[in-house]
Amino acid sequence: MKNNAHAEHNIPMKLPYLNSVSAKGQGPIQYGHVDCLLINPPDIPTRYPYLGISLLAGMLRAHGISVAILDSSALGMTIKDVVRYIKDIKPRIIGISIMSLTLRSSYELVRAIHVSYPEAVVVAGGAHINADPWSVQALDVPYGFIGECEYEFLDFCESILGGKEPKETPNLIVHKQGQLVIGERKIVDDLDALPWPALDLLPVERYYSPSTHLRTISFITSRGCPYDCIYCSKVDRIRVRSLSIENTVDQLEWMVKELGIEWVEFVDEIFTLNRSRVVELCNSIIKRGLNFQWGCGSRADRIDNDLLVVMKNAGCRKIGFGVESGVERVRYLDRKRITNEQMKNAVSLCKSHGIKTQACFIFGHPTETLDEMKETVRFARNLGSNYPSFSRMMPFPGSEVFEQAKVKGEVAPGVWKDFMFGHGPLPLYTPKGVTPEQVYRIFRRSWFEVYFWPPNMWNNRDVFMSVDYIRKAAKAFWDFALSRNY
């Protein structure tokens, strides 16, 4: 690493907790006045950090704005806990990162802030706002952000802190007197010009991967995706851009040596999209002598034997694949044109190199029948993936599934607003000819039929090598197989 790497990216050598205090004994909390507080709202269990707020925090910190991050979900906090914390540190600006799944808790948090700490300027962002900017009006917050908004958010904060009205910029949403003004979407062309994400402000000790017992963080080395799967909430295809190899490895070295990270989960849309870049990155990791393990996401048609050799030597121990269905007809309708044979070969190839695999499946694709869902369970069981994962089709705003379902009258246009206000359940899509109860039953059974299939239990026998590993694997199974219905 360069000697001035920390100075260049404004990364402190020690965790900058103003005062180390625990919330119900569940992790460090920062106390003292800050200009901006960025919140991941309390709701679904957090395995990895959502990187958006750490990227924003890095940008603010690099320009002299004091900032704190509160991952209240990872810390097991309630809305009352969050409000109490807000009143303690007295931020001028509060940014809330909102996923579709956390929409209801985010709305409740906003209401609580309005009542208990009205002096703050509240701004909403995150994946749900990006896909559905009009949610800002329903949330009743004055501002929101879409797109890749690091620079625009900095300008916004400088205006607020300087007592000025924020000027209209790309990516900014202004909600005033019942009207919305939504700025044009803009992306960041040069990712290397961005300050490093403030991962050191996160409660790193609270994150975990179901596939390891090691100290874990997530990291993204590229942005964008050239594919157009119908269930994805991307508003449009986004040009792929990447961090330079040197910048990427510098950041990885900082995570490993300063934050004590042992496992990195690369959350690029498709990590192996650019084969030559992956080879160069892996060789640089090896050359630096960085000792950590990692996982990533790929496609079955984006790996090969020689690539896996290099990845394994650089520490790769897991690759995730979006299989989606065990029926090619269904998968092709999703515009994921990969055959069952390619899926099987990819898992088998990874296994031959000692690399574990995660296979993700969805029940409830448009036109999918009950028999096809049962075939998916059989395919998942015989695929031999270490970590099969099952979910139900969710019509995310911005996805083609949602738009088609609205046109056909299968989903009400305001279904997400109803969910936000507590007037309806979490939106789930059910194809015609199948009942929600049937989809729920097969979703619930799939976890047990696949994970407790004797060959698959043998596949994951190393879970029993560590008490900590058993604990984290059991927690993951509880969180994703037993305590949710989506």
Kindly report the CATH number assigned to the domain that includes residue 107.
3.40.50.280
Helix (H, G, I), strand (E, B) or coil at 192: helix
Q: Are residues 289 and 359 in the same domain?
A: yes
Domain extent for 102: 5-182
Q: Are residues 216 and 160 in the same domain?
A: no
Q: Can you give the pLDDT at residue 456?
A: 85
pLDDT (mean) for 314-325:
97
Give the domain-ending residue among 147, 182, 217. Answer: 182
Q: Are residues 250 and 132 in the same domain?
A: no
- Letter for the amino acid at 51? L
Q: Are residues 235 and 283 in the same domain?
A: yes
Q: What CATH number is given to the structural domain containing 236?
A: 3.80.30.20
Residue 407 lies inside a defined structural domain of this protein: no
Residue 46 lies inside a defined structural domain of this protein: yes
Q: Which of 124, 36, 148, 46 is nearest to 86 (CA)?
A: 36
Q: Can you give the pLDDT at residue 47?
A: 80
Residues pairing with 392 in the sheet: 363
Percent of the chain with pLDDT over 70: 92
Q: Are residues 306 and 351 in the same domain?
A: yes
CA distance 9 to 57: 12
Q: Are residues 171 and 245 in the same domain?
A: no
Q: Are residues 105 and 159 in the same domain?
A: yes
Q: Are residues 217 and 170 in the same domain?
A: no
Q: Are residues 262 and 152 in the same domain?
A: no
Count: domains in the chain: 2
pLDDT tens per residue, range 88-99: 999 999 999 999
Go through 295-313 and write b for each residue having 16 or more CB atoms within 10 A of its CB, e for each that does not.
Answer: bbbbbbebbeeebbebbee
Q: Can you give the pLDDT at residue 4?
A: 38
Helix (H, G, I), strand (E, B) or coil at 157: helix
Q: Are residues 159 and 250 in the same domain?
A: no
pTM, two decimals, is: 0.91
